Amino acid sequence: MRVLVLAGMPGSGKEEFVLVAKSLGYDVVCMGDVVRAEAANRRVQDSDKGVGGFANSERQAHGNDIWAKRCLPYINRKKTIIDGSRSLDELEVFRQAFGKDVRLVAIHAPQRERYQRLVQRGRRDAPKSWEEFLERERRELSWGLGSLIAMADDMLVNEGSLEDFKMKAKGFLEGRG
């Protein structure tokens, strides 16, 4: 079994990495999907503040590793990407469950570039201003995302073209298969 835990700030390129991984036969468990599904079940407002606040309140009520624990039942294939880990506590859940088969992969991109990407995506949770973007950055960093990125086994830098990053991701994943 090979489990790659993917971490990165919003807009860094995690979704593009995931698309490449899927094309190479990886199964993908998106932690954000698990959060959004649970938020929808509880009728939480479908916005960055609503879902993000819900995710945070669940961490406060059940521990920083709650979302990793809720993802474990979805991990059942040989090659799996876990997208969107936010803390060392979450990583520890995956390491306890899968041992030496876990590698932490961080995706990095410059802050202004990430902001532009999020705005251009046009999703409902896209920041409406630079200040809103910075608020999201602070929230995610408060969960321990910066420490997680710093502890990465592997780091992919995404500051060129989309095609360049896809090629970089493919080369990395083919070397990890």
pLDDT the model gives residue 29: 96
Q: What are the pLDDT digits (tens) for 98-116?
A: 999 999 999 999 999 999 9
Q: What is the mean pLDDT of residues 34-45?
A: 86
Q: Which fold has domain 2-176?
A: Rossmann fold (3.40.50)
Q: What is the mean pLDDT of residues 152-160?
A: 95
Q: What is the mean pLDDT of residues 28-51?
A: 85
pLDDT the model gives residue 150: 96
More confident residue, 41 or 29: 29
Q: What is the mean pLDDT of residues 111-127?
A: 90
Closest among 128, 108, 113 to 47, alpha carbons compared: 128
Q: What is the mean pLDDT of residues 77-91?
A: 91
How many Å apart are CA 104 and CA 53, to the nearest integer?
Answer: 25
Which range (93-97, 118-122, 163-167) has the least confidence?
A: 118-122
**Is a pLDDT exceeding 60 seen at residue 13?**
yes
Single-letter code of the amino acid located at 159: E
Q: What are the pLDDT digits (tens) for 142-152?
A: 888 999 999 99
Residues in the chain: 177
Cα three-residue angle 29-3-139, rounded to 5 degrees: 55
| Distant-in-sequence, close-in-space partners of 77: CB < 8 Å, separation ≥ 6 | 26, 27
Domains of the chain, residue spans = 2-176
pLDDT the model gives residue 134: 94
Longest dimension (CA), the chain: 42
